[in-house]
Chains A and B, each alone.
Chain A
Amino acid sequence: MVGVTHYLVLSAAVFAIGVFGILTRRNALLFLMSVELMLNAANINLVAFSLHYGNLSGQVFALFVMALAAAEVAIGLGIILVLDRNFGGIDVTVPTTMRR
């Protein structure tokens, strides 16, 4: 029987894939996509528990998360534009001027 545990493992897997993407990708756009993955993993988790406990709050919360994800991507793309302007490319390993 598909219980809540399966959904949780699924969300953990998607989250881990998102974390992997953040930690290893050099392209800033892929970085943003990985962030989206993490947010959606959290969404899966929320909806799974909403069904499990029979409370709609989880699904409403997931909607809000989606809206915020959209807002964040908007800002993120703006930042990528600025990054491209100042560092000539969108490789995240190039800007290291904020060390020491």
Chain B
Amino acid sequence: MTGAFDFAPAIALLPLAAFAVALFGGNYLPKRGALAGITALVGSLVLSIWALVTVAGGETYDADLYTFVAGQDTLSLHLGILIDPLSALMLVIVSLIALLVFVFSLGYMNDEDETGLPRYYAELSLFSFSMLAFVFADNLLMAFMFFELVGLCSYLLIGFWFREAGPSSAAKKAFLVTRFGDYFFLVGTVGIFATFGTGMFAGSESFPHMAEQALAGEHSVRTFLGLGEQAWFTVLGLLVLGGVIGKSAQFPLHTWLPDAMEGPTPVSALIHAATMVAAGVYLVARMYGFYLLSPTALGVIALVGGFTALFAASMALVKQELKQVLAYSTISQYGYMMLALGGGGYVAAVFHLTTHAIFKALLFLGAGSVIIAMHHNENMWDMGGLKDKMPVTYYAFLSGSLALAGIFPFAGFWSKDEVLYETLIHGFGGSPLLLAGYAMGLLAVAFTGFYTFRMVFLTFHGEPRTADAEDPHGVRWNVKLPLAVLGILAAVAGVINLAPVEKVTGIHLTFLHDWLDMAPDSFGTAVHHYTGDHGLMHEFAGYTAAHPLGETGTVLVGAAISLGLALAGAGLAYRLYAVPSPTEHTDKLGSLKTLLMNNYYQDEYQVWLARDVTLPLSRAADTFDQSVIDGVVNATSSVSLFAGERVRRIQTGLVTHYATLITLSLVALLVVFGYLGGWF
């Protein structure tokens, strides 16, 4: 019987077919292409679940689909599929969220009588195709191709309402900032292909395996720039990290994500919360065997992640628009995932990726529901008292907020706690840099609690502050259904990896850890290969775990501290904002608030870099090109023209002049022959 893996290509190709249908036939369909997308994604979800079940039975899959450069004795480039526990999990997450977003779009876009919908559904389907293909890519080049395609779809969707200035400018900004990071990614990809001759992620022929063997002395690879092997691998890892930082909106390439909120809210939910920005973190997880070989790269990842978590959370404290708070929250939460990966918590990072996809998509869809209700007014200060009028939205949003803030027992508590715990124990185990990351992450927990509940209370509690809030526009089943599904998931998804409970009670509850450990040893992508007792983390990255208060004690104290901080932040928000008429308490921060509202002037800084640093440089290069290089070319031609003009004057037309020349030439020849022949 044909297995799930025979249909694996269809997981991505079904949305591609929906793209074609929506693009060419969307105008004739009743829902303008939404049903094609929904059908395709139901198919993808079913196939992904089937693949998940098959992987749970112990099988995995790594095959080539199409070779477009078959090298002889050199590298070959191909497209292939890799389905192992990590990619199977991600496929299910992406298909599920994409499906729910398509259903939600029926309510957000179709019911609101938006125009240009075939284009919208086509772009959304194309995005689904690219994201799914990126997830099951089996080599780095294919991953890069779909990474770029995902960026293109993001550009198209952010700029969906391109006739207005804001969306089109935001789309360009998103594309350019991520493209800047992708430049380094491309260089890194070429470097990896040049060094290892392959870009495969898993298997005995994969580049992480070859790199590991090279460092163990069993194999030799070419390095460049005269660097040793570990230094060169660090360089390659940092280059690929450039693309990751851009795509996952980490500092300093985070500036595009808040502006990306100009796009329709379902797009924000799918792309800028759950899937596309996850692509960067997923790539690091995919290549984790390679990153573990370089402690420097891990340290950079952890610091960037921790710093971004704190940095973005601080900016979310003062924002007035609903989606802006969520955007900065996204940046901050992806910082946590990067902190986990840099700190050696592979399972923690994947766990947080999963739970964050669920609750962030939920929060964005909830925000979308509120936005529909408020007639597309996003300012939280114009809302208030919506909880009585929109109960489904309220409870779903509350579930997501509790998960985001990390309140027990919602999903976010378990995953964020595990991130912080792993960083803490590896920090005490001899990597003090990780303790700095831990401190930043911990402070960000307090901020997260505060801004999340400030958002909830301003939007849903208190008295309605405008007429729209008193009489909100109703929403239908197509909005409420996804909210309900995600709301339930956000509450219960934590059960997949209840690590603290396991450590305290001894009952085996870390299902995600086991799931990710199921990859066969030939693939090299199992958790024990990464972080087990003899795994890469101990051998090469030098991380060991140290429990200052004993294992159980450290777990409980860590959990208590983070829960306490989250509750403190939430409690402060409750005191300040869960009142009938809240005021802008953040004004008390004074000039600090101005700094935060202006996003630490990062946007101005980047524009300054482009305009006042890069532009003069490129003008100088242009001048050099025109005057020197073109000048040399022009000078060559003008020299020959001038010389020709002068030489032409010998042709006077006078016979005597010609005879003179002949005679002189004859004399010269005679002299030369005379010297050579010894006549004199």
Contact = CB atoms under 8 A, between A and B. Distances in A.
Interface stretch (B28-36, B128-136, B364-372, B649-657): B649-657
Nearest to B656: A23
A24 B657 CA distance: 9
Contacts of B654: 92-93, 96
Contact of A19 (B648, B651, B663): B663
A98 B653 contact: yes
Contact of A24 (B651, B652, B656): B656
A98 B659 CA distance: 15
Interface string B646-679: 0010011111100110010000000000000000
A77 B653 CA distance: 21
A22 B653 contact: no
B413 to A, nearest CB: 95
A95 interface: yes
Contacts of B648: 100
Contacts of A93: 654, 656
A97 B652 CA distance: 9
B656 A92 contact: yes
Contact of B652 (A22, A23, A99): A99
Which of A23, A93, A96 lies at the interface centre, i.e. has the most chain B CB atoms within 10 A of its CB?
A23
Q: How many interface residues does chain A have, given as a range?
A: 10 to 19
B653 A23 contact: no
A19 B661 CA distance: 12
A91 to B, nearest CB: 10
B584 to A, nearest CB: 88
A24 B656 CA distance: 7
B655 A100 contact: no
Interface in A78-100: 92-93, 95-100
A100 B656 contact: no
B651 A23 contact: no
Interface secondary structure of A, over-half rule = loop
Interface in A33-64: none
Contacts of B653: 95-100
Contacts of B659: 22-23
Nearest to A94: B654
B663 to A, nearest CB: 6
Contacts of B651: 99-100
A95 B657 CA distance: 12
B655 to A, nearest CB: 6
Interface residues of B, number: 10
A98 B655 CA distance: 10
Nearest to B651: A99
A100 to B, nearest CB: 6
Contacts of A100: 648, 651, 653
Contacts of A23: 656, 659-660, 663
B652 A92 contact: no
Contacts of B655: 92
Nearest to B660: A23
A17 to B, nearest CB: 13
Contacts of A98: 653
Interface in A17-32: 19, 22-25
Interface string B410-428: 0000000000000000000
Nearest to B664: A23
Interface string B144-161: 000000000000000000
Contacts of B663: 19, 23
Interface in B627-663: 648, 651-656, 659-660, 663
Contacts of B660: 23
A25 B656 CA distance: 8
Nearest to A24: B656
A98 B654 CA distance: 9
Nearest to B663: A19
A16 B659 CA distance: 13
A98 to B, nearest CB: 6
A28 to B, nearest CB: 10
Contacts of A99: 651-653
B661 to A, nearest CB: 10
Contacts of A25: 656
B348 to A, nearest CB: 87
A30 to B, nearest CB: 11
B60 to A, nearest CB: 83
Nearest to A19: B663
A96 B656 contact: no
Contacts of A92: 654-656
A22 B648 CA distance: 23
Residue among B651, B654, B660 facing the most chain A CB atoms (10 A cut-off): B654
A95 B660 CA distance: 17
A25 to B, nearest CB: 8
Contacts of B652: 96, 99
Contacts of A19: 663
Nearest to B652: A99
A96 B656 CA distance: 11
A95 B655 CA distance: 9
A70 B624 CA distance: 70
Nearest to B666: A19
A11 to B, nearest CB: 15
Contacts of B656: 22-25, 92-93
A96 B654 CA distance: 6
A22 B657 CA distance: 10
A97 B653 CA distance: 6
Interface string B615-632: 000000000000000000
Contacts of A24: 656
B21 to A, nearest CB: 72
Nearest to A22: B659
Nearest to A100: B651
Contacts of A96: 652-654
Interface string B525-548: 000000000000000000000000
A8 to B, nearest CB: 13
A23 B657 CA distance: 7
Nearest to A16: B663
B670 to A, nearest CB: 12
Nearest to A26: B656
Interface string B233-244: 000000000000
A97 B651 CA distance: 11
10 contacts: A19-B663, A25-B656, A92-B654, A92-B655, A92-B656, A93-B654, A95-B653, A96-B652, A96-B654, A100-B653
Interface of A: 19, 22-25, 92-93, 95-100
Given A92-B654, A96-B654, 14 more contacts: A19-B663, A22-B656, A23-B656, A23-B659, A23-B663, A92-B655, A93-B654, A93-B656, A95-B653, A96-B652, A96-B653, A98-B653, A99-B652, A100-B651
- Sort A-B residue pairs by CB-CB distance and give the 6 closest, nearest first: A96-B653, A99-B653, A99-B651, A23-B660, A22-B659, A93-B654
